[in-house]
Amino acid sequence: MFKYNCQNPISKVGISKLGPDYEATDQMEDAEVLLIRSANLHDVSLPENLACIARAGAGVNNIPLELCAEHGIVVFNTPGANANGVKELVLAGMLLASRDIMGGIEWVKSQKGNPDVNAQAEKQKKKFAGCEINGKKLGIIGLGAIGQLVANAATHLGMDVYGYDPYLSVDAAWNLSRSIHHIQDLDEIYRECDYITVHVPLTDSTRNMIDSRALELMKDEVVILNFSRDLLVDEKALVQALRSHKVKKYVTDFANPTVAGEPGILVTPHLGASTEESEDNCAVMAVKEMRDYMENGNIKNSVNYPSCDMGRCLAQGRIAINHRNIANMLGQFTSVLGEAGINIADLTNKGKDGYAYTLIDIESPITSDIIKKLESIEGVLRVRIVK
Ligand SMILES: NC(=O)C1=CN([C@@H]2O[C@H](COP(=O)(O)OP(=O)(O)OC[C@H]3O[C@@H](n4cnc5c(N)ncnc54)[C@H](O)[C@@H]3O)[C@@H](O)[C@H]2O)C=CC1
Ligand SMILES: O=C(O)C(=O)COP(=O)(O)O
């Protein structure tokens, strides 16, 4: 039986996929598995027996990834599972920024009971008029799961799309419409585009990427959309740019004291992934990844450990070892098992950056002594008996 704890509400469709071997606990410290969305785990102490964290969503800036890796805790996310939900809100954001749709709706609301509202509306409507997005240049920073959906949809809406992503995967490139201009120099996006939308993860290297220098390069009356993370934008500089009419509108999904109530800023309360479909997709994928790890030791879509797949264990037993990505680890593992007379049926070892992971199928039962020996090898972070 595995104990799991949810730090955020997780869709019932996902929870229903857990099966009888999983028991919910309200006590985070008892959990072997955490299922989360945006809960901030940077300031909490992680449970002693925590084996993995499954983030039902894309962004993992709320999780101390390095600390988790150091403790042999594998962190998963669900790439692409909520991308369509975000794409649709980005499209809505572009339209809301182009005409004063919100202002117009509010005006009509304020006319409740006015028998002359129809005639008045015809007079007032010019206040809320705007422009079309058809034919405008859209710059997309980050062409991952969301960026590529936004790019393709925008081309269908008649926009001239400029995309920038220095780490673009081959798969992502295949998915992109051929009419999208592949931009090598980010400044070109800043200089050329009427709408700029950012779809990169928040990391130390992307923090504040839209700063006062970037804002200065932009066209007058640019519209900026941020459905990624608020800290990607220097929002104090952005407010100045709005007040001086350099920026026409800022559309953001992240409420904070700098943007709340500021004229020219449209803020939604982190609604990008809050659709039934995205919530279900993310939860189902998170549960699937987590179960494959807990039950088989396999790793798919981890953000701090390498992928590793040995299928289901058909041997007598399986050991999972999380360790540093350094020389001679495998040799030491096989020596310990060999000295104990345990034959290895199968073995996989994968490394990613500073961390590595080894799965070993064995043909006889393992004892706590052998586990202790494996744990005491320099560089081993965690040993888990999967079967
Ligand atoms: N508002 C919301 O509810 C949601 C927000 N998000 C945010 O959106 C971000 C992106 O999500 P996905 O597209 O699903 O992630 P993804 O991982 O599929 O795509 C991110 C892309 O950014 C690119 N990238 C990284 N650094 C870059 C840089 N310096 N310049 C240009 N491109 C760069 C990567 O190569 C990758 O293609 C997430 O990290 C998260 O912060 C994601 C889902 C929902
Ligand atoms: O997936 C992401 O990165 C998101 O920002 C969505 O967050 P949420 O699951 O709605 O708290």
Predicted confidence (pLDDT) per residue in 124-147, tens digit: 999 999 999 999 999 999 999 999
- Give residue for tokens 């790019």: 151
Given pLDDT bands bounded at 50, 70 and 90, which one contains residue 172?
Answer: confident
CA distance 193 to 178: 19
Q: Is 10 in the pocket of ligand 2 (CB under 6 A)?
A: no
Cβ–Cβ < 8 Å for 189, 161 = no
Give residues with Cβ within 8 angstroms of 261, minimum separation 6: none
Counting residues of the chain whose pLDDT is more than 90, the rounded percentage is: 99
Q: Is 144 in the pocket of ligand 2 (CB under 6 A)?
A: no
* Distance of CA 146 from the midpoint of ligand 1 (Å): 7
Cβ–Cβ < 8 Å for 200, 65 = no
Smallest CA separation from ligand 2 atom 9, residue: 37
* Closest ligand 2 atom to 271 CA: 10
Ligand nearest to the CA of 164: 1
* Distance of CA 370 from the midpoint of ligand 1 (Å): 43
User: Which tens digits make up the pLDDT trace of 198-211?
Assistant: 999 999 999 999 99
Given pLDDT bands bounded at 50, 70 and 90, which one contains residue 171?
Answer: confident
pLDDT for the residue 236: 98
Pocket probe for ligand 2: among 35, 55, 82, the residue whose CB has the most ligand atoms within 8 Å is 82
Q: Is 252 in the pocket of ligand 1 (CB under 6 A)?
A: no
How many residues would you count in the chain?
387
Give φ, ψ of 299 to 5 degrees: -120, 125
Sheet containing strand 2-6, edge to edge, reads 22-24, 2-6, 33-36, 52-55, 74-76
Average pLDDT across the chain, whole number: 97
pTM: 0.97
pLDDT for the residue 215: 98
Cβ–Cβ < 8 Å for 363, 342 = yes
Domains of the chain, start order: 1-82+275-305 (3.40.50.720), 83-109+129-267 (3.40.50.720), 306-387 (3.30.70.260)
Ligand nearest to the CA of 199: 1
* Distance of CA 203 from the midpoint of ligand 1 (Å): 10
Q: Quick check: 263 pLDDT over 90?
A: yes
Q: Is 58 in the pocket of ligand 1 (CB under 6 A)?
A: yes
CA distance 239 to 385: 54
pLDDT for the residue 185: 98
Q: Quick check: 255 pLDDT over 90?
A: yes
Smallest CA separation from ligand 1 atom 37, residue: 144
Average pLDDT over residues 150-179: 96
Q: Quick check: 164 pLDDT over 90?
A: yes
- Can you list the alpha helix ranges (DSSP code H) found in 203-275? 212-217, 235-243
Q: Is 41 in the pocket of ligand 2 (CB under 6 A)?
A: no
Q: What is the ipTM of this complex?
A: 0.99
Smallest CA separation from ligand 1 atom 16, residue: 144
Average pLDDT over residues 281-304: 98
Q: Is 37 in the pocket of ligand 2 (CB under 6 A)?
A: yes
